[in-house]
Each structure stands twice: as structure tokens, then as C-alpha cells.
């Protein structure tokens, strides 16, 4: 009966990131693979969710107050005016919001520009809609955007650009100049943009997140997606949103209702408490994660990794294997699990372009197999335990784990 599967379904395979997390659970390994915290969510948010359940907010419901708070936040952060009654769609996490946004604007044959490396969800949604992903490589080691390469990726069939900033997996925060390049191309070519801004409050070194929608001419053509998950350490609650001009937001709401009807209602109610958090909450969040970033950078650099780019946002370190190390990223992760009991993610799963004949060949034609992603959104105890295991094994092997240098 396998032939009964749709052509799209046949192209999908299990998420390698989730499979590595499952492996960590089964083998009792330390999970630095998936980007979820292993420390408790804020107690006042948990209490708000419990109170909502006990107050019988347990049936289908749209909590309009979330939209009201989001409109205020967008005005305060980015100077953008949105109507909370018409320009918002509450969804089951950013993932559904993003998928519904893609389904709302992409027709079969439409081309969608993405930046490489890229999180796995985006391509799947584009292909389910019948769209064609077109990847534009960011240049390592600082993951800069080449304006010419980006502009040359546009064709008569280009419908939209996908932007994730702060960026998973690299930790890049797109600069104002890069955002202006993206915005200029979208306006000239009359293209849409869909942004993934789930790390909007998690930036480092006094860098501020800039929403693409805040640039001239972009609010009318941008669908912003985000969620509670990363900012409030509740990745399992599945409360996210899309913010867009009314006709796009309406289409996204309609798609959302047809698929899932509503986001989990007790967690929508608790979101009201989260979105009322004072500025001190977000500053403490940044400060704590910046400390964790600095710690993991120190640990991984001590193993011989090349840290040419320190994350400026998000929750991951995308580290390059030592220059003379012979194993690929996949082989390294296997050795890491086997010998140290620590799980990370091979970088190759985030890459989709092969640029060995272009300028990027200067860093090695196989650079796509030279990166490992480490999640540092973990408790201090977890990070310290991982550091100890890695250091002990490195000492035992006389250097880098796996011990295979040229």
C-alpha cells in the first residue's frame, strides 16, 4: 500500500534533529541537539496555565487579548501599527503559523528564496504547497549575505523570500545593510516576505533585533511569524502567531481553523501573563543566555574547534571542526555519542547548496560537512556535565574526540 502515499509525503523523512533527541533519551545521553530548555519554565506562567485549566478554559477559544498585547509589542519594538482585530492569527506554534503563511501565498510552481544554511521546516512547507525552494548561500565563516548572489536568485517566478533572524543554526543576526538589500529586492520585484522571528528577544553583545517589516515598503508585504516558545521556555505549549496585513492574516486564520481549529486554550490564557512581562524579564533572559553562549564557546574552543563566528543571537553554536580533522560532521557526532554520551547535530542537514565552483570553494568544497550545531539553551548543570564529559574524553584521546587528525 506504500504506493498510495502522495508524491510529497514520499519525499519526507524523519527529522534528524528529533531523531537525535530521541537517541539522547534512549541512551541517557546529554542532549545538546534540540533547541529546547531542560530547566523549568517560569513558575508564574505555569501557575497561569494551571489556573486557566481549573477555571475551565478547556474548550475551543480564541483569546483576543493575545492580539491586543502583540499589537502593543510591535508598536513598542518596531514602530509598526497593526490592528489586533484583523492583522493577527493565533496558531499552534510558530511552525503552524509559518506553514499557514506559506499555504496562504504560494501556488504550485512559485519560487521561494531561502538563505543557506536553513532550518529544515521551511523547505517542507514550501514543497507541500507546490512551491520551489531556491537557496542563496551565506558566506562562512561570518555567514554574510552577498547582495549580487541574492539578487541574481530572483526570476519571473519568484513569489517570496524567507528570512530567519536571529538565525538558526548559525546565530547570525542580519545587519541593517543586509535587511535593506532584502527589502529593496522585495519591493522592486513585488515579492512577499515571510519572517521567522522566534529569537527576537534573544540577541547578544548589545545587538538589537530589527524586523524586516519595519523597513520602508515592507509592512504591506511581510508576514511575521513568532511564538512564546523560545522567549518563555515553553516549547511544548504550541502558542504562536502570524502578523500581517488583514487579507493575509484572514487567509492564515482560515487555514489554521481548517487544520487545528485553535491553539491550546489554557496556554493561550497563560500567554496573556507572558506577554505582560516587564522589560527586566527580557533583559535577564538575554543576559543569562549570553553567559551560556560564552561558556559553550569556551568549552568547544577548548576541544580544538574553530570558532570564527560567535553567535550574536538565538540558542546555538555552529562550530567548525578543526582544520586537520578527518572525520565528517556525521562521523564526529556518532563518535561524540558513542564515546562521550553527548548529542549534537551534524551541520550538513542545514545545507542545501553546493558551491564548490564559486567563491566559497576557498573555504573548502566540503565545508557543508564541517560544522556541528550545539544547543546551549540548557541548565548550567547540564552544560557543566557536558563540558566534563567532553574534556575527559578529549584528554583520553589526546585531543579532539575521535582522535583522527591528518
pLDDT at residue 18 greater than cutoff 90 = no
pLDDT at residue 303 greater than cutoff 80 = yes
Confidence of residue 13 (pLDDT cuts 50, 70, 90): confident
**225 contacts 239 by C-beta, under 8 angstroms:** no
Helices (H), 7-146: 7-11, 16-27, 43-54, 64-78, 93-105, 120-128
Torsion region of 171: left, alpha or beta (phi above 0 gives left; psi -120 to 50 gives alpha): left
Q: Is 132 helix (H, G, I), strand (E, B) or coil?
A: strand
Mean pLDDT, the chain, integer: 92
Confidence of residue 3 (pLDDT cuts 50, 70, 90): confident
Confidence of residue 154 (pLDDT cuts 50, 70, 90): very high
More confident residue, 356 or 135: 135
Q: Comparing C-alpha atoms, which of 23, 138, 11, 119 is closest to residue 347? A: 119
Domains of the chain: 2-40+280-396 (3.90.1150.10), 56-277 (3.40.640.10)
pLDDT at residue 58 greater than cutoff 90 = yes
Cα separation values, 259 from 103, 116, 253, 329, 347, Å: 12, 29, 10, 37, 32
Residue 403: predicted pLDDT: 55
Confidence of residue 364 (pLDDT cuts 50, 70, 90): very low
Instruction: Report percent pLDDT > 70 for the chain.
Output: 94
pLDDT at residue 354 greater than cutoff 70 = no
Q: How confident is the model over 40-67, as a mean pLDDT? A: 97
Residue 288 backbone phi and psi in degrees, to 5: -65, -40
Per-residue pLDDT tens digits for 327-349: 889 888 888 888 899 999 999 99
Confidence of residue 29 (pLDDT cuts 50, 70, 90): confident
Residue 322: predicted pLDDT: 86
Range in 167-176, 306-315, 330-339, 382-391 the model is least confident about: 330-339
∠399-405-406 over CA atoms, to 5°? 150
Query: How many Å apart are CA 123 and CA 161, to the nearest integer?
Result: 12
More confident residue, 2 or 107: 107
Helices (H), 141-212: 147-152, 176-189
pLDDT at residue 360 greater than cutoff 70 = no
Residue 93: predicted pLDDT: 98
Q: Comparing C-alpha atoms, which of 305, 295, 287 is closest to residue 394? A: 305
More confident residue, 355 or 283: 283
More confident residue, 220 or 303: 220
pLDDT at residue 406 greater than cutoff 60 = no
Amino acid at each position: 500500500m506504500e504506493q498510495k502515499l502522495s508524491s510529497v509525503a514520499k519525499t519526507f523523512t524523519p527529522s534528524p534533529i528529533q531523531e537525535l533527541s530521541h537517541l539522547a533519551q534512549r541512551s541517557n545521553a546529554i542532549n545538546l541537539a534540540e533547541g529546547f530548555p531542560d530547566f523549568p519554565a517560569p513558575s508564574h506562567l505555569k501557575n497561569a496555565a494551571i489556573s486557566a485549566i481549573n477555571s475551565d478554559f478547556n474548550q475551543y477559544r480564541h483569546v483576543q487579548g493575545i492580539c491586543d498585547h502583540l499589537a502593543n509589542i510591535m508598536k513598542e519594538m518596531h514602530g509598526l501599527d497593526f490592528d489586533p482585530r484583523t492583522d493577527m492569527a493565533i496558531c499552534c506554534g510558530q511552525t503552524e503559523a509559518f506553514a499557514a503563511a506559506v499555504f496562504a501565498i504560494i501556488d504550485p510552481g512559485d519560487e521561494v528564496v531561502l538563505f543557506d544554511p536553513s532550518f529544515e521546516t521551511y523547505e517542507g512547507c514550501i514543497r507541500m504547497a507546490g512551491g520551489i525552494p531556491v537557496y542563496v548561500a551565506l558566506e562562512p565563516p561570518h555567514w554574510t549575505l552577498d547582495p549580487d548572489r541574492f539578487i541574481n536568485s530572483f526570476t519571473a517566478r519568484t513569489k517570496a523570500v524567507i528570512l530567519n533572524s536571529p538565525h538558526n543554526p548559525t546565530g547570525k543576526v542580519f545587519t541593517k545593510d543586509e535587511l535593506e538589500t532584502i527589502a529593496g529586492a522585495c519591493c522592486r520585484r513585488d515579492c512577499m516576505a515571510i519572517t521567522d522571528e522566534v529569537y527576537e528577544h534573544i540577541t547578544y553583545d548589545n545587538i538589537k533585533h530589527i524586523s524586516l517589516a519595519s523597513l520602508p515598503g515592507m509592512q504591506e508585504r511581510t508576514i511575521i511569524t513568532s511564538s512564546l516558545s523560545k522567549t518563555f521556555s515553553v516549547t511544548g505549549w504550541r502558542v504562536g502567531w502570524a502578523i500581517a496585513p488583514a487579507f493575509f492574516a484572514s487567509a492564515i486564520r482560515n487555514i489554521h481553523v481548517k487544520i487545528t481549529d485553535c491553539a491550546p486554550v489554557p496556554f493561550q490564557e497563560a500567554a496573556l501573563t507572558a506577554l505582560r512581562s516587564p522589560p527586566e524579564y527580557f533583559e535577564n533572559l538575554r543576559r543569562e543566555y549570553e553567559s551560556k553562549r560564552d561558556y559553550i564557546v569556551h568549552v568547544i574552543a577548548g576541544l580544538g574547534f574553530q570558532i570564527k563566528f560567535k553567535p550574536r543571537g538565538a540558542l546555538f553554536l555552529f562550530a567548525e571542526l578543526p582544520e586537520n580533522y578527518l572525520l565528517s560532521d556525521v562521523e564526529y557526532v556518532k563518535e561524540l555519542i558513542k564515546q562521550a554520551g553527548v548529542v549534537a547535530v551534524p551541520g550538513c542537514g542545514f545545507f542545501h547548496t553546493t558551491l564548490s565552483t564559486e567563491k566559497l570553494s576557498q573555504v573548502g568544497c566540503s565545508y557543508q560537512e564541517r560544522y556541528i550545531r550545539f544547543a546551549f539553551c540548557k541548565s548550567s548543570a547540564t552544560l557543566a556535565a557536558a563540558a566534563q564529559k567532553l574534556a575527559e574524553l578529549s584528554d583520553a584521546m589526546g585531543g579532539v574526540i575521535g582522535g583522527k587528525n591528518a
